[in-house]
Amino acid sequence: MSRTAAAIRSADEHSAHNYHPLPIVVASAEGAWMTDVEGRRYLDMLAGYSALNFGHGNRRLIDAARAQLERVTLTSRAFHHDRFADFCTELAALCGKDMVLPMNTGAEAVETAVKTARKWGYEVKGVPDGHAKIVVAADNFHGRTTTIVSFSTDHDARDHFGPYTPGFEIVPYGDLTALAHAVTENTVAVLLEPIQGEAGVLVPPAGYLAGVRELTRERNVLFMADEIQSGLGRTGKTFACEHEEVVPDVYILGKALGGGVVPVSAVVADRDVLGVFRPGEHGSTFGGNPLACAVALEVIAMLRSGEYQQRATELGDHLHRELNLLVGGGAVTAVRGRGLWAGVDIDPARGTGREISEKLMELGVLVKDTHGSTIRIAPPLVISKEDLDWGLDQLRSVLAG
Ligand SMILES: *Cc1c(COP(=O)(O)O)cnc(C)c1O
């Protein structure tokens, strides 16, 4: 049996089957390339769902992590450590906000935002205790906890995980009228992805985010943007909300904030919002640990240069130009996205997204399908134009076949 087959069989035997990975077993990776246990190389056009925006083994990030590994890695929040203040100050500045609440995973940051909005609702807005409502969008993806799946519309994510957490109202994504009707005096927040990644890289209609901003401001409701996947350079801006010159009240960040090295997430907002927390009311043993702060500080410094946003804009324009040439040619029915991020709908007659992904894998390109016949393209922002073009060549050859 090959090393690949042996590793997959053993994983199937001893891990819960909550994922259905492509049949590749990665042994090492650098930049935009991964090498499997057989020594075959693959171009990574998924980048860990944007957790690897800066590529695999990024020198600056690995050096920052290594230096911190030699000093101190974990203190818990029972004590201060010497990277914490810098991390919070720099991340708040990147977001143009006052305060940061650090967590680890994206789902934890979303949970933290939900708790923040409820507490703000009761203590600042004056909503009667226990009555807070948060409006969310259909086809959202915000993570996997019991509260978060309570407001998912995806049956796989939600079914048989009840009883569900109440307090959420679901409206169609991109529909301002529906949103305006759903907001009541007990609404404390609107929680949205500025671009819905998991749903197939759905970009809302022009003016939607600006409309949400106006509505939430008028009705004294927090606008919480889940920028876990869309943020930190992916779309050509630091935040996807910037495409409509929108500043939400609350940024929810994760994925790329940890540089593909460690899980780092955060909720970032002004003092009138995050100031609601007092000691003992929320926390995390690992949140804001020294290693996480050291890596995230380097991520923030890299984003401050604007270099990665620039790359995402330029390479993204190229990617979308090339992908749009495929639309209507038979195999591709639609292309959406922004920056170095695209959802490509394949004619179901040509195969499922999974089948297309497997064929691409055989040609040395890694992508991920989502919802039937859509494939998602999101290479690391450090990918070279030559490698991107090579990846596009493989896509064209799979779709021509
Ligand atoms: C990935 C993701 C999450 C959840 O992050 P985890 O780190 O997997 O918990 C939440 N929201 C969005 C938009 C995401 O893409």
Structure tokens that stand for 39 in this block: 């020594």
The pLDDT, as a whole number, for residue 329 is 80
Write out pLDDT tens, residues 109-158: 999 999 999 999 999 999 999 999 999 999 999 999 999 999 999 999 99
Q: What is the mean pLDDT of the chain?
A: 97
Question: Structurally, what CATH architecture does the domain formed by 3-57+307-400 represent?
Answer: Alpha-Beta Complex (3.90)
Structure tokens that stand for 198 in this block: 């998991």
The pLDDT, as a whole number, for residue 328 is 83
Out of 255, 345, 359, 369, the active site residue is 255
Instruction: Using alpha carbons, list the distances in angstroms from residue 205 to 41, 75, 209, 305, 310.
Output: 39, 45, 8, 30, 24
Out of 141, 223, 277, 286, the active site residue is 141
The pLDDT, as a whole number, for residue 1 is 84
Whether residue 141 lies in the annotated active site: yes
Q: List the one residue out of 349, 338, 350, 348 whose CA is nearest residue 376.
A: 338
Strand order through the sheet with 41-44: 26-30, 33-36, 41-44, 365-366
For residue 44, the cross-strand partners are 366
Index of the ligand 1 atom closest to the CA of residue 255: 7
The pLDDT, as a whole number, for residue 199 is 95
Cα-to-centroid distance, 204 and ligand 1 (Å): 19
> Which residue in this structure is represented by tokens 């380097």?
298
The answer on pLDDT for 239 being more than 90 is: yes
What pTM was estimated for this model as a whole? 0.98
The answer on pLDDT for 330 being more than 80 is: no
Q: What is the mean pLDDT of residues 336-351?
A: 95
Burial group, residue 163, by CB count within 10 angstroms (0-12, 13-18, 19+): exposed
Whether residue 175 lies in the annotated active site: no
The answer on pLDDT for 319 being more than 70 is: yes
Query: Who wins on pLDDT, 94 or 370?
Result: 94
Task: Map the chain to HEC letters.
Answer: CCHHHHHHHHHHHHCCCCCCCCCCCEEEEEECEEEECCCCEEEECCHHHHCCCCCECCHHHHHHHHHHHCCCCCCCCCCCCCCHHHHHHHHHHHHCCCEEEEECCHHHHHHHHHHHHHHHHHHHHCCCCCCCEEEEECCCCCCCCHHHHHCCCCHHHHCCCCCCCCCEEEECCCCHHHHHHHCCCCEEEEEECCCECCCCCECCCCCHHHHHHHHHHHCCCEEEEECCCCCCCCCCCCCHHHHHCCCCCEEEECHHHHCCCCCCEEEEECHHHHCCCCCCCCCCCCCCCHHHHHHHHHHHHHHHCCHHHHHHHHHHHHHHHHHHHHECCCCEEEEEECCCCEEEEECHHHCCHHHHHHHHHHCCEECEEECCCEEEECCCCCCCHHHHHHHHHHHHHHHHC
Q: Whose CA is nearest to atom 6 of ligand 1?
A: 106
Using N-to-C axis directions, what is the helix angle for 290-304 and 59-69, rounded to 10°? 150
CATH class of 71-304: alpha beta
Identify residue 73 by its one-letter amino acid code.
Answer: T
For residue 327, the cross-strand partners are 332
Q: For residues 192 and 195, give the distance between their C-alpha atoms in angstroms, rounded to a whole number.
A: 8
Write out pLDDT tens, residues 20-43: 999 999 999 999 999 999 999 999
The pLDDT, as a whole number, for residue 401 is 67
Q: For residues 350 and 252, give the distance between their C-alpha atoms in angstroms, rounded to a whole number.
A: 37
Whether residue 255 lies in the annotated active site: yes
Our mutation pick for probing the ligand 1 site, out of 198, 228, 234, 257, counting the most ligand atoms within 8 A of Cβ, is: 228
Out of 36, 44, 226, 345, the active site residue is 226
Task: Map 344-377 to HEC letters.
Answer: EEECHHHCCHHHHHHHHHHCCEECEEECCCEEEE
What band does 372 get if pLDDT is binned at 50, 70 and 90?
confident
Cα-to-centroid distance, 192 and ligand 1 (Å): 12
Ligand 1 pocket: which residues have CB below 6 Å?
49, 105-107, 110, 141-143, 193, 197, 226, 228-229, 254-255
The pLDDT, as a whole number, for residue 99 is 98
Cα-to-centroid distance, 256 and ligand 1 (Å): 11
The pLDDT, as a whole number, for residue 400 is 83
The answer on pLDDT for 276 being more than 80 is: yes
> Domains of the chain: which residue ranges?
3-57+307-400, 71-304
Write out pLDDT tens, residues 150-193: 999 999 999 999 999 999 999 999 999 999 999 999 999 999 99
